[in-house]
Amino acid sequence: MRATGAKLITAFRMFNADQCPLLAAGIAFYTFLALFPALIALEFLYGLVADPATLVSQIETITSTLPGVARKLIAEQLAVMASSPRPVLGIGFVIAVLTELWSVSGVVGNLFGAVNTAYRVPDDRGWVRRKLLALAAAVVSILFMAVVVVMVVLAPQLIAIVGGPAVLGWVLEGLRWLILVSLTVVGVRLVYRFGPHRRATRPRLISAGAVVATLIWFAASAGFAIYVDLFGSHAETYGALAGVAVLLLWLWLAGYAILLGAEINSTFDADQSSP
């Protein structure tokens, strides 16, 4: 236990030495720029098989843990998306989706670069290879969002079909969140697996860094939402830009957690590989 604590302290020191809080700010900025293109791409694909308004309502449910002003910002943009004509298959549709994917791949490339810094390895992969990897990760990210949306859609329907006592509904709701957290752990672990350009260690579905990053992310999100909704004065300080400021802060917390997890993995992996 003492050795584990020492490793965690080392990881946190390296986290600050590598200027990861500053890198997290860059991740937050690029993620903010790519967030709405990602939602548009998801809306395009979803609109081929269902009413986009349904997607909008489900995404609003997913973002319920965000602070109110950030949730309002996303809801307003989603309302604009829902009022747009439904997409039709064709060259224009393909170009639109590819354009949005290209935008999303930019933030993935930025994230991978920051993770390389946390692992302290140079990324000498060629531009084409890095871009293809980022595009593939962007596709996976949007598919992950689609899976989360499906979970949100199916869970209430399953609860209604099964019926039974209220405690059963609570169990199913808890199971839904458990699956969501587990998927997030796996997703973060994949970032740590394919982001840094280094020789892969033994394959693991999860890692200590991925678990810590996910727990910090969810806990910080809940705490930040409570603080902003109850005690924050962002609306008075930032005015019309309050939603943007709060969303950027929330994205910074996400980047902070992911990079801290990367430093933890790097520290533990270095210890395991040492003679």
Handedness of CA 207, 210, 212, 215 (dihedral sign): negative
Which of 140-149, 175-184, 214-223, 255-264 has the highest mean predicted lDDT (pLDDT)? 255-264
Q: What is the pLDDT of residue 85?
A: 64
CB contact at 8 A, 197 and 116? yes
Whole-angstrom distance, CA of residue 63 vs CA of residue 65: 5
pLDDT in tens, 80-139: 766 766 555 556 667 767 777 888 888 888 899 999 998 888 878 888 888 888 888 888
Name the residue type at position 158.
L
Contact of 138 with 101, CB cutoff 8 Å = yes
Give yes or no for a contact between 252 and 25, defined as CB atoms under 8 angstroms apart: yes
* Unique residue bearing structure tokens 């700010």: 25
Greater model confidence, 57 or 259: 259
pLDDT given for residue 274 in this prediction: 42
pLDDT at 275: 39
Predicted pLDDT of residue 156? 61
Q: What is the dihedral of CA 229, 234, 239, 245, to 10 degrees?
A: -100
Instruction: Give me the phi and psi of 203, to 5 degrees please.
Output: -65, 130
214 touches 181 (CB < 8 A): yes
Looking at every residue in the chain, the average pLDDT score rounds to 78
Of residues 4, 27, 7, 21, the one with CA closest to residue 266: 7
Measured from the Cβ of residue 31, the count of other Cβ atoms closer than 10 Å reads 23
**Tens of pLDDT along 47-85?**
666 666 666 666 666 666 677 778 778 777 777 766 766
| Average pLDDT, integer, range 173-187 | 81
Determine the Cα–Cα distance for residues 201 and 153; give it in Å rounded to an integer: 37
Q: In whole angstroms, what is the distance from residue 184 CA to residue 119 CA?
A: 20
**Which pair of tokens denotes residue 94?**
């393909």
Decide: helix, strand or coil at residue 62.
Answer: helix
Share of the chain above pLDDT 70, in %: 72
Residue 223 has pLDDT above 70, yes or no: yes
- 239 confidence band (pLDDT: 50, 70, 90): confident
Out of 131-135, 147-151, 196-200, which region has the weakest mean confidence (pLDDT)?
A: 147-151
